[in-house]
Structure 1
Amino acid sequence: MRTWKTELGKKSYSSIYSMTSPANEILFFSLRLKTGVRQKHVLPGRMRLYDLQHPPVNRWEAPEFTWLIRATMATGYITLLRLLQHCRTSPKTISLALIAWLVCWQFTLVSAQESNPTVVWDIASFQQQLSTHKEVADLWSILKKAADSDLTEPAWTPASELPGREAVHVNRRNLNDGLMRKVGRRIERAALVYRITGDERYLASAWRQITVLFNDPLWADWRDLAHQNYANSYVDIRTGDLSAALGITYGWLQEGLTEEQRAEFIEGVDRQVIQPFLKSVEQNVWWLDAGHNWTTRVVGGIGILGVALQGSHPQAGQIITIAEEAMYGYLDHLGEDGSFNESPGYVSDLTAAARYFKVRSGSQSDKAKKTINQLVKAAHWTVWTLLPGFRQMAFGDTKTKRPLRSEFAGAIAAASGDQLTQWLFLSGGNLREGIDPRRLDPEAVLAYNPSVKPLSPAELLPLAKAFYNQGGLVISRTGWDLSSESQDVVVYAKHGREQSHGHDDVGQVAMTVGTQAIIVEVGNNFTYPSDYFGTNRPEYYPASARGHNIITFGSEPDAGMNPQGRGELVFFEEEESSTHWKMDLSKAYLDQRKVTREVLHGRPSLLVVLDEVELPNEEQITLRWHSGGEPTSLIPGGYQFQAGDHTAALHITALAGKSPTYSVQNHSFAPPYDESRDGQKLPQYREPLVSITTQDKAIRWLTVVAFAQGSSTPIVQQIDQNTWQIEHGGKKVTVLLTSDGLEWKQ
């Protein structure tokens, strides 16, 4: 390690810089089949990230400097030996010769590094595809159209009114997610068009936005206002996203920038990103090894900037070292079965990980294979979470109606050749015809490999699957039509708990037909309150146990849940006509409560749930079912409701324990837990639900849900203590409760 005194623009500071060598150089992966990078190293499982059009920046391997370095070292070595062989040579002379040789050697190494830009994202293969693949040429045309419109557009600031940007963020001059995404895409597309065409108008366009980022007072802090009070964090996910875009952009622009512009860029990112990032790291900031989207977006994004600044900034190597450790550590948080470690709504943040881990085509290293395999499994898990309308199951902090953005899957498909992942990418990667050109992600365009032919889940996957890691999702469907016009039925549940952005929802069961919810997962359709990620989180019903279709205890907000607990899948069985599973949820609760839930999905439109509870002491036990419409009571425990074009029946039978009370309720946010972190009142959706409550030590409750299209109400009849008959959709089925559990007959 060596301390350097460095001048960046007008700023002087000391920094620690680690000299690069073949034994310790930090190496990056590339998840693109088309990056054109070359593998050239002795360490197993590692690859260098080099652009074929530019020389590598490793001092030891830059080809145009290799002869100079080796010649200098050899000459100095021989000279020293000759001097040492002559006793008449004074120690002072030998010392001076040694110092001169070391200075000459260091000068050649620094020159080698400073003379060669690092291009983080290669475009050579993309340029080739422009002439051979029409779909790539069409995407390029859309991208260039957006870059053309930017030529006369003023630089954007946090005060800019942009399409789709909420007024609250404009008024507060906030660096919200949408703004940072738009700015990042703007500078990337301008730089990409410049790199391909050589037209300096696009360089000037990119630079106009970049220099405003460094100099406009509204850009003084590259953090969201909501994140500026986070302990020891002087950068955030906005900083990380913008840093990644700047790193990619700088590699494409660097040769066209003047010496003064390059100095301004380096000084700007040093002030806005590098020093705040390293200050956070020195204070052991929480997101370094948190294993969620802050890790990938902050550390991964700034790590990409570090790669771009190799040879230009003395702390680039230190940043890369930090990023390497954190990002490979992040992979360990993903489930072995592909389960994502956050709620489904955050899976699009795998874009940050996919951008970081770029694996070269044809690599056979074990580490590269493992990385690709893990991300492919995560992409497949994502496919399973999809509902008609290309929405996701709204477990945890997931929006119920927001379509998935699957740009991340392009890089994974390109590296792996996986056809299902390519389908995911093309279905939700914003590459469709008619898209607003400014929404087209330049990185997604570069990631697209048209030689990987997509295969849909209908061609590859069964209708049901159980996952065991993280959230432990269990899914049963009638088909794989994910269009907005679909009438497929999906029943989905979970027995686990996500590491991040999860709710108190272990044991949750929900049901949809097409885009209409029958049994509702309320999700998270509001802006986070300022205290949402603290001890007050259960006060907000969507995150609490009372906002889910599960058993709860007592009247306190925590509802008897174990904040770290998760259930277990006892069995999972799939047949052509049904899917059947049982979950032991006891460990998800505190105080030795025993809770099990057995679920039967009779295709297409029957759902049966058996809840059993045993307690050490008598206490309040409650079960809630959130319905897709306002429920009307027919008999005690029997309800009907209209859910879109479908009429549904909900029937609850108490098989053991004291007689429960039934009620219809609606959720709402109550003061003081009714404001977002922006100071806005939270939206009141007033989701309807049926509540079943008793005071007891043990209960056994059976719930039957059936629906049919139109106004005909399904009929649920209890024939005897263990038999129910259901008429719906012109069909009659029988549900039996045996000593082995639930059974059904058509």
Structure 2
Amino acid sequence: MRPHIFVTADPIDGLRSVESVRQAITSGHAKRLWDAQLAIAEQELANKVYEPGDRFPGRDEMSARHANRDYTVVHRAGTRALRAALINLITEDTRYRDDSLAQMEALFDTARWPEWRDIAHKGMNIDLRAGQLSRYLSIAYDWLHPYLNQDQRERIVEGVDRCGIQPYLQDVADGVRWANGTNNWMTCVVGGHGIAGLALSDDHPQSQDLIDYAHPRLNAYFDRYGPEGEFNESVSYANAHALPLLYFSAHRYASGGGENRIAAFPIPDTCRWMMYFTLPPGHVVPFGDSHIGRPPSAPMFAAVAEATRDPELQWFYLEHSVPDDPDADPWELLWFDPTLEPREPTIPRGRAYQGHSQNISVRSSWDPKAAECVVYGKGGHGSEGHGNHDSGQVCIDAYGKRLITDPGSPPGYPADFFGENRYRYYNASVLGHNVLMFDGEEMKRERTDCATILDSHFEDGEGGWWQIDVAALYEGVESIVRTVVYAAPCTVAVYDKATHPDASQVSLRWHSVSDPEWSPDGRFSVQNEDSGVDALVCSQLAEIGVTLQHHAYAEPYNRFRLGDVFEQKHEPYLDCVVSGPDVSILTLFRTRQGQSSENWEETSDGWSCGSSSVSLSSNELTVTDGPITWCVQV
């Protein structure tokens, strides 16, 4: 029976049929998804097919100039073929079949697409791009199958086999590392070819081999997740959680409604974990290798909501779905179940996760667009996948705007970014994060060099706090404990207490989204449109030297992997420096809406700013915002 991937020709209990999709797209969100996909497909009918040197909105000039087979152009080419196949399936308008075939023919033509591989990825036949394209074109084949003649079917199977499957199998035979890896390379490449096996089915003689190789590896991949569903790489890479979901959703359909793996641990748990680390108005926390402002992968929430009948995941999906995004995956229309009613989250607003990167967040509300305040941080270890030297990091957003920030990744991956030189780039270095640094030394690099979340507590409507010990990440340090307290809705205190007998200079950097207004006494204010934060850095043990600095890349650590020079970003930070072996630095923040800043002022027992007040004794930190007070032992 075809189609049989993500949609079925005939009705099957628990699965979407072609006819049920046709009925769903007449109203509501399904109609918005359909109208958007149809509009994109209609525009593409008038455009030439995608080739590696194409320039279009959203593609960087460097990749186009090099005619690189980068993610962006591969995604556009693959989704064009897939989208047109879906439109043909729903409307039976064969103009879209022909457009899908035209894009496939271009992809099979080595004069136009020399390889299904990024030119920066050496020492292998194929890479992530073949995982993408084998997946896209095989699913398109399944959807087009009833509308193709035998010659067209054979041409598609031959093209996917020659350009994707056989080079992939050769890499596997050669023992390429990603074939048994524990990151997005394995889930994309191995998973993508597993989906190809499911979609091509009996029309390819090695389909079952592709499935048999992928299935146990994709299933075992989840063993790498944390005990509460924590993704095994940095949170910024967690959209890759969608890759094994793709495979298991395809497998569920290909088996006629068999095992519902998507409903089982850790898949729904990881989606809820991602909810905590998605910031208003809709971007993922930028810890680790990240692109600032990247949205969460909304379609996977639709798939998991449908599989689990979870109304809160459905709510999250609907809040973050962008139907008219030209890069939207066409299967989103098939994954969204309009019969499942959404419900706003009832899960707690604050949570500290112990696994992997040990991410922590607390927020004033689950308002998806403009929560008054979100405070987020992490622990982690010295060898996080796509991670940085950022254990202890704390950032603050307010009213949907970034204020106290993480710089994210360099403008693109340098050639040496995943080797010994990684920490020469400030984005990955301790230099680029809001944490303590001792005499300019980097953090340690092993998996066993791990932070410890000592304690945490959160209450909805009141905020919460956490304490984290990061001493294991530093050489020669006797103790480092960071205490973070959030008194809802607007007050945050960060207290760093450390002892390093051999350190002569200790630095704490606070990165801000824009140049702050600041003074040498430690007061500073940051503005981002109509949101702002007023802050004070102070110490009871030593005088703090405060200066405004800006990052800059320096030769030779300032180039993309293709050799082009980075555009400098010059991200600002306040460098707060103290001397001596004992460190006691308290940083106070009050978020606000509007342009009017207000200073923190010293009082008889601490500091105050508007309705916020903070006091610190030898063993207790007290933080108040109006009627809300937190007292934490330090």
Q: Taking structure 1 as reference, are residues 637 and 199 closer, same or farther at Cα in structure 2, changes over 3 Å only?
A: closer
Please state whether the residue corresponding to 1:726 is helix, strand or coil. strand
Q: Runs of 5+ in structure 2 lacking a partner? A: 627-634
CA distance in 2 between counterparts of 1:183 and 1:322 reads 27
Please state whether the residue corresponding to 1:204 is helix, strand or coil. helix
CA distance in 2 between counterparts of 1:366 and 1:173 reads 42
Please state whether the residue corresponding to 2:486 is helix, strand or coil. strand
Q: Which residue of 2 aligns with 1:81?
A: none
Please state whether the residue corresponding to 1:389 is helix, strand or coil. coil
CA distance in 1 between counterparts of 2:261 and 2:200 reads 28
CA contact (8 A) 2:157 2:203 kept: yes
CA distance in 2 between counterparts of 1:521 and 1:315 reads 46
Q: Which residue of 2 aligns with 1:622?
A: 507
Please state whether the residue corresponding to 1:303 is helix, strand or coil. helix
**1:470 and 2:356 are equivalent in the alignment:** yes
Q: Which residue of 2 aligns with 1:25?
A: none
What is the letter of the counterpart of residue 343 of structure 2?
L
Q: Taking structure 1 as reference, are residues 660 and 574 closer, same or farther at Cα in structure 2, changes over 3 Å only?
A: same
Q: Which residue of 2 aligns with 1:76?
A: none
CA contact (8 A) 1:489 1:512 kept: yes
TM-score w.r.t. structure 1 length?
0.76
**1:203 and 2:97 are equivalent in the alignment:** yes
CA distance in 2 between counterparts of 1:130 and 1:320 reads 31
Q: Which residue of 1 aligns with 2:564?
A: 680
Q: Taking structure 1 as reference, are residues 691 and 253 closer, same or farther at Cα in structure 2, changes over 3 Å only?
A: same
The structural deviation recorded for 1:490 is: 0.9
CA distance in 1 between counterparts of 2:5 and 2:365 reads 31
Q: Which 10-residue stretch deviates more, 466-475 or 658-667?
A: 658-667
CA contact (8 A) 2:252 2:258 kept: no
Q: Which residue of 2 aligns with 1:725?
A: 607
The structural deviation recorded for 1:448 is: 1.1
Please state whether the residue corresponding to 1:569 is helix, strand or coil. strand
CA distance in 2 between counterparts of 1:683 and 1:603 reads 39
Q: Which residue of 2 aligns with 1:410?
A: 302
- 1:4-19 alignment to 2 at 5 Å? none
Q: Taking structure 1 as reference, are residues 201 and 560 closer, same or farther at Cα in structure 2, changes over 3 Å only?
A: closer
Which of 475, 484, 490 is residue 374 of structure 2 equivalent to? 490
Which of 736, 741, 744 is residue 616 of structure 2 equivalent to? 736
Please state whether the residue corresponding to 1:396 is helix, strand or coil. coil
**1:511 and 2:396 are equivalent in the alignment:** yes
**1:453 and 2:335 are equivalent in the alignment:** no
What is the total number of aligned residue pairs between the two structures? 616
CA distance in 1 between counterparts of 2:112 and 2:478 reads 54
CA distance in 2 between counterparts of 1:391 and 1:505 reads 19
Please state whether the residue corresponding to 1:262 is helix, strand or coil. helix
The structural deviation recorded for 1:489 is: 0.9
**1:168 and 2:62 are equivalent in the alignment:** yes
CA contact (8 A) 2:487 2:625 kept: no
The structural deviation recorded for 1:706 is: 2.6
CA contact (8 A) 2:278 2:284 kept: yes
**1:281 and 2:175 are equivalent in the alignment:** no
CA distance in 2 between counterparts of 1:441 and 1:419 reads 22
The structural deviation recorded for 1:616 is: 5.1
**1:531 and 2:416 are equivalent in the alignment:** yes
Please state whether the residue corresponding to 1:222 is helix, strand or coil. coil
Q: Which residue of 2 aligns with 1:300?
A: 191
CA contact (8 A) 2:201 2:207 kept: yes
**1:442 and 2:330 are equivalent in the alignment:** yes
- Deviation digits for residues 164-195 of structure 1 (CA, Å, limit 9, x no counterpart): 32332222111121211211221112222333
The structural deviation recorded for 1:240 is: 0.7
TM-score w.r.t. structure 2 length?
0.89
**1:521 and 2:406 are equivalent in the alignment:** yes
**1:378 and 2:264 are equivalent in the alignment:** no
- Deviation digits for residues 672-711 of structure 1 (CA, Å, limit 9, x no counterpart): 1112224333232222222223443332222222344445
CA contact (8 A) 1:618 1:696 kept: yes
CA distance in 2 between counterparts of 1:353 and 1:630 reads 41
Q: Which residue of 2 aligns with 1:352?
A: 243
- Deviation digits for residues 641-673 of structure 1 (CA, Å, limit 9, x no counterpart): 5454456443222333x5453322111111111
The structural deviation recorded for 1:544 is: 0.9
**1:544 and 2:429 are equivalent in the alignment:** yes
Q: Which 10-residue stretch deviates more, 199-208 or 735-744?
A: 735-744
Q: Taking structure 1 as reference, are residues 738 and 329 closer, same or farther at Cα in structure 2, changes over 3 Å only?
A: same
CA distance in 1 between counterparts of 2:129 and 2:246 reads 16
The structural deviation recorded for 1:743 is: 4.9
CA contact (8 A) 1:429 1:444 kept: no
What is the letter of the counterpart of residue 268 of structure 2?
V
Please state whether the residue corresponding to 2:155 is helix, strand or coil. helix
Please state whether the residue corresponding to 1:689 is helix, strand or coil. strand
The structural deviation recorded for 1:366 is: 12
CA distance in 2 between counterparts of 1:366 and 1:156 reads 37
**1:129 and 2:13 are equivalent in the alignment:** no
The structural deviation recorded for 1:514 is: 1.8
Q: Taking structure 1 as reference, are residues 368 and 204 closer, same or farther at Cα in structure 2, changes over 3 Å only?
A: closer
CA contact (8 A) 1:475 1:492 kept: yes
Q: Which residue of 1 aligns with 2:630?
A: none
Q: Which residue of 2 aligns with 1:697?
A: 581
Which of 452, 456, 480 is residue 366 of structure 2 equivalent to? 480
What is the letter of the counterpart of residue 411 of structure 1?
A
CA distance in 1 between counterparts of 2:5 and 2:347 reads 25
Q: Taking structure 1 as reference, are residues 131 and 327 closer, same or farther at Cα in structure 2, changes over 3 Å only?
A: closer
Please state whether the residue corresponding to 1:295 is helix, strand or coil. helix
Q: Which 10-residue stretch deviates more, 541-550 or 472-481?
A: 472-481
Q: Taking structure 1 as reference, are residues 708 and 324 closer, same or farther at Cα in structure 2, changes over 3 Å only?
A: closer
Which of 321, 337, 343 is residue 234 of structure 2 equivalent to? 343
CA radius of gyration, larger in? 1
Which of 213, 223, 233 is residue 322 of structure 1 equivalent to? 213
The structural deviation recorded for 1:137 is: 4.5
What is the letter of the counterpart of residue 281 of structure 2?
G
- Deviation digits for residues 16-53 of structure 1 (CA, Å, limit 9, x no counterpart): xxxxxxxxxxxxxx996xx55xxxxxxxxxxxxxx658
CA distance in 1 between counterparts of 2:226 and 2:313 reads 17
CA distance in 2 between counterparts of 1:509 and 1:188 reads 41
Q: Which residue of 1 aligns with 2:321?
A: 429
Q: Which residue of 2 aligns with 1:3?
A: none
CA contact (8 A) 2:504 2:581 kept: yes
- Deviation digits for residues 386-441 of structure 1 (CA, Å, limit 9, x no counterpart): 2222122211122222333412212111111111211222222323xxx26x4443
Q: Which 10-residue stretch deviates more, 179-188 or 559-568?
A: 559-568
CA distance in 1 between counterparts of 2:213 and 2:403 reads 47
- 1:353-368 alignment to 2 at 5 Å? 353-358=244-249, 360=252, 368=260
Please state whether the residue corresponding to 1:453 is helix, strand or coil. coil
Q: Which residue of 2 aligns with 1:153?
A: 47
Q: Which 10-residue stretch deviates more, 679-688 or 625-634?
A: 625-634
Q: Which residue of 2 aligns with 1:75?
A: none
What is the letter of the counterpart of residue 448 of structure 1?
F
CA distance in 2 between counterparts of 1:370 and 1:135 reads 23
- Deviation digits for residues 445-494 of structure 1 (CA, Å, limit 9, x no counterpart): 1111101111223xx233222111122121121122222xx251111111
Please state whether the residue corresponding to 1:492 is helix, strand or coil. strand
Q: Taking structure 1 as reference, are residues 297 and 123 closer, same or farther at Cα in structure 2, changes over 3 Å only?
A: farther
CA distance in 1 between counterparts of 2:159 and 2:503 reads 64
CA distance in 1 between counterparts of 2:42 and 2:402 reads 43
Q: Which residue of 1 aligns with 2:466?
A: 581
CA contact (8 A) 1:243 1:301 kept: yes
The structural deviation recorded for 1:712 is: 4.3
Please state whether the residue corresponding to 2:301 is helix, strand or coil. helix
CA contact (8 A) 1:725 1:734 kept: yes
Please state whether the residue corresponding to 2:600 is helix, strand or coil. strand
What is the letter of the counterpart of residue 409 of structure 1?
F
CA contact (8 A) 2:231 2:241 kept: no
Which of 451, 457, 463 is residue 567 of structure 1 equivalent to? 451
CA contact (8 A) 1:632 1:641 kept: yes
The structural deviation recorded for 1:377 is: 1.3
- 1:206-217 alignment to 2 at 5 Å? 206-217=100-111
Q: Which residue of 1 aligns with 2:631?
A: none
CA distance in 1 between counterparts of 2:229 and 2:269 reads 4
CA contact (8 A) 1:708 1:714 kept: no
Q: Runs of 5+ in structure 1 lacking a partner? A: 1-29, 37-50, 55-120
Please state whether the residue corresponding to 1:555 is helix, strand or coil. coil
Q: Which residue of 2 aligns with 1:21?
A: none
